[in-house]
């Protein structure tokens, strides 16, 4: 754990005393968010950045977002990314930068960091494990969408033609291998888990742990593709609606909050309908 060492020299009655004090810096203390502005870099699409923006707004930290490069536009995005990519640790976004630490990459690591520093990982061990499982479920849904769903950059023509996208949306067989699991199976697991958590409309008592931020972001990605996707899953639908209505969530949904512009739909319907206009 990084520490700060302070050496103090005092002279009293002709004798010199040197005292060395070692303390952990605030950037490493659980529950103590580093002071100063936090910076998050991510593309202007609803994929792996929105959950972080949601968590930052729910945490109430002072933050600002950039889409790839300060002052960049949609027109310069790809060119900007070619320039910025080699400067990142892993050649990818999102990247969070907080005062006193090296840049942090990988969405789930960033979310775990925010949860730990800002008290958004559940009030006790039980909620901590709920939070973590929801985060992973959100990631599983993301990875399923990456496998089958057309995106604003890739129509996935062969995958759609092979019927894999349609199968994801129609398959409710819970015995299928999880790589072939349909959206209804993910949602029925989330419906049952919600009941087991027994925490009212949300999964945890606060309803805004980093796991719930990630889950909400992926539920929203599903809803953008198919508006009635939660039909038959009332607990999931209620969780989605109440999370969307929270003021800290609305800012991100409306215009990307502290990002210079809102997030565009990334995963598209396979029926060829165009994504909505940018905010
Ligand atoms: N393991 C990383 C994956 C991040 C990732 O796949 N980022 C994509 C955007 S969603 C990216 O940077 N793509 C641009 C590129 O690879 O050049 C995470 O979970 O954050």
User: What are 130-165's pLDDT values in tens digits?
Assistant: 999 999 999 999 999 999 999 999 999 999 999 999
Task: Compute the distance between CA of residue 113 and CA of residue 96 in angstroms, rounded to an integer.
Answer: 10
Nearest CA to ligand 1 atom 10: 48
Q: Which residues of the chain have pLDDT under 50?
A: 1-14, 19-26, 276, 278-279
pLDDT at 11: 47
Please check whether residue 94 is in contact with residue 48, taking contact to mean a CB–CB distance below 8 angstroms: yes
Cβ neighbours, 10 Å, residue 116: 16
pLDDT at 273: 52
Task: Compute the distance between CA of residue 31 and CA of residue 160 in angstroms, rounded to an integer.
Answer: 46
pLDDT at 28: 59
pLDDT at 272: 54
Tokens standing for 12? Answer: 């009293």
pLDDT at 12: 46
pLDDT at 206: 97
Query: Which among 38, 70, 65 is positioned nearest to 49, based on CA atoms?
Result: 65
Q: Which residue has the tokens 């990988």?
A: 106
Q: What is the pTM of this model?
A: 0.89
Which of 45, 77, 85, 92 has most ligand 1 atoms within 8 Å of its beta carbon, as the pocket-test mutant?
92
CA of 20 to the centre of ligand 1 (A): 44
Strand partners, 7: 20
pLDDT at 145: 98
Task: Compute the distance between CA of residue 27 and CA of residue 18 in angstroms, rounded to an integer.
Answer: 27
Tokens standing for 236? Answer: 């999931």
Task: Compute the distance between CA of residue 190 and CA of residue 18 in angstroms, rounded to an integer.
Answer: 59
pLDDT in tens, 253-268: 999 999 999 999 999 9
Task: Please identify, by atom number, the ligand 1 atom nearest to the C-alpha of residue 43.
Answer: 9
CA of 260 to the centre of ligand 1 (A): 20
Pocket of ligand 1 (CB under 6 A): 43, 47-48, 85, 91-94, 106-107
Q: How far is CA 148 from CA 134, 154, 184, 186, in A?
A: 21, 11, 15, 15
Radius of gyration of the chain (CA): 22
Nearest CA to ligand 1 atom 16: 92
């Amino acid at each position: 754990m990084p520490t700060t060492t302070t050496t103090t020299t005092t002279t009293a009655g002709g004798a010199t005393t040197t005292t060395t004090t070692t303390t952990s810096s605030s950037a490493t203390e659980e529950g103590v968010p580093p002071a100063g502005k936090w910076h998050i870099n991510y593309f202007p699409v609803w994929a792996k950045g929105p959950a972080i923006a949601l968590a930052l707004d729910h945490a109430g930290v002072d933050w600002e977002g950039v889409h790839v490069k300060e002052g960049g536009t949609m027109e310069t995005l790809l060119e900007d990314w070619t320039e910025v990519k080699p400067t990142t640790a892993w050649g990818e976004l999102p990247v969070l930068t907080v005062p006193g630490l090296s840049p942090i990459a990988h969405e789930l690591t960033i979310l775990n960091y925010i949860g730990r520093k800002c008290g958004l990982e559940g009030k006790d061990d039980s909620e901590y494990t709920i939070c973590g499982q929801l985060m992973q479920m959100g990631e599983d849904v993301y990875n399923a969408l990456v496998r089958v769903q057309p995106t604003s950059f890739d129509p996935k023509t062969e995958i759609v033609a092979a019927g894999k996208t349609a199968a994801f949306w129609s398959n409710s067989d819970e015995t299928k291998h999880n790589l072939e699991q349909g959206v209804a199976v993910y949602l029925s697991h989330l419906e049952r888990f919600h009941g087991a958590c027994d925490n009212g409309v949300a999964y945890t008592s606060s309803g805004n742990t980093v796991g719930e931020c990630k889950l909400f972001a992926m539920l929203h990605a599903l809803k953008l593709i198919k508006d009635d996707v939660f039909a038959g899953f009332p607990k999931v639908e209620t969780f989605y609606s109440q999370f969307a209505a929270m003021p800290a969530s609305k800012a991100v949904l409306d215009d990307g909050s502290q990002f210079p512009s809102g997030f565009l739909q990334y995963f598209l319907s396979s029926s060829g309908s165009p994504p909505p206009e940018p905010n």
